[in-house]
Amino acid sequence: MRVACLDLEGVLVPEIWQAVARKTGIDELNLTTRDIPDYHELMQRRLSILDREGITIHDIQDVIGTMAPLPGAADFLEQLRSRTQVVILSDTYQEFAAPLMRQLGWPTLFCNSLTVNGNGRIAAYHLRQEQGKLHAVRAFKTLQLTVYAAGDSYNDLSMILDADHGAFFRPPDSIVAENPAVPVFRDYPGLLEFLVS
């Protein structure tokens, strides 16, 4: 039996923080794990910007409410789920995910959480566990599952390399250059074929 583990942002949906950057005009929020490999550094930077600019969870949720999955993503995921088990392993937050998960048919999602104070300020972020994607892949393997994994960023690299079969989906050139042995897919039909092969 197999399981396909997918990243969320950049694979199935647009980058949430980049959508917030466009809405607010704050270019610093465009940085993602494609740019900064250290997730804690990236999130501390984001929270500092939110504090400085007075952006609340409600502002971010308003932006997310206008977002849709990437073109072709919902159909790809439906086809994939008809052929294998699928788990989304994401560094997003449960307070962000619901509108996008609804549009994707409520797939299984493992993600993180936020602490939000009474006025909507995001006070802290909480990882489900350090290296959560890697630990999930390893746990699935202990269940005798054959694990396929795909993602687009530095924070996906450990799960991609530890999976039985891992690949990049539309990654930046810098990550590809650093990991030339990892297969790269640029469209959903190719990724689907890989994940069910």
Q: Which residues are catalytic?
A: 7, 9
Distance of alpha carbon 64 from alpha carbon 74, whole angstroms: 17
Distance of alpha carbon 76 from alpha carbon 104, whole angstroms: 10
Who contacts 8 (Cβ-Cβ below 8 Å, separation ≥6)?
A: 88, 89, 90, 92, 97, 100, 109, 111
Distance of alpha carbon 60 from alpha carbon 47, whole angstroms: 12
Distances (CA, A) of 120 to 55, 77, 147: 9, 33, 38
